[in-house]
Homo-oligomer: A and B are copies of this chain.
Amino acid sequence: MIKKLDNNLRGPSEHNVRDQIVEAAAEYFSRYGYEKTTVSDLAKSIGFSKAYIYKFFATKQAIGEVICSNTLSAILKAIDEAMVGSPTASERLRRMFKAVVEASSQLFFEDRKLYDIAASAAGEQWQSCTLYQEQIKKIILEIVHAGRESGEFERKTPIDETVNAIYLVIQPYGNPLLLQHNLHLAEHAPMILSNLILRSLSP
């Protein structure tokens, strides 16, 4: 059962109501799928009127965006945590790639229904998705930059090309639309692809 939200909101600020709607919607979508659910279904299940939900979110996608953004933030956090204490840029790259695959597999596929939102977001290039892709490229850029500074990596190739190429190698394991067909490789691929990338970076 989806937990009904307390309709007699005395204390909570509008900010809290938004959070409550998002939390209830995430649970509902992950159970019944994002595409098939309407705002009416959602309103009914959490005990709010449709109009009340529309006070906080203009569209279903707006709710989906927040859920998606939270999920992608969790992946970015997992990547950050995985990289803490890496002694070299090479090691940071390895840990980053591994964390992308592990966190994405877990968050998109452990509960298959959350895949639904992620797939819509990736397919329709929602803003949360575009921002996430930029963040990943930024992390790659920082790693390549650090490795070039320390002399670990070659400096001849234009850095944008290097970053783009690495991003393209990683994205089939981060984009849920591609990852769904690559889950059987999720164990093995990050290691041998990290090795290939690192050979390509050697000075």
Contacts and interface: CB of A to CB of B under 8 A. Distances in A.
B192 A164 contact: yes
Chain A interface mostly: helix
Interface in A116-158: 122-123, 154, 157
Contacts of A178: 172, 178, 181-182
Size category of the A interface is 20 to 34
B181 A165 contact: no
A178 B193 CA distance: 17
Contacts of A17: none
Contacts of A175: 181
A181 B122 CA distance: 10
B193 A169 contact: yes
10 contacts: A162-B196, A165-B193, A165-B195, A165-B196, A168-B185, A168-B192, A169-B196, A175-B181, A178-B182, A196-B200
Interface of A: 122-123, 154, 157, 161-162, 164-166, 168-169, 172, 175, 177-178, 181-182, 185, 189, 192-193, 195-197, 199-201
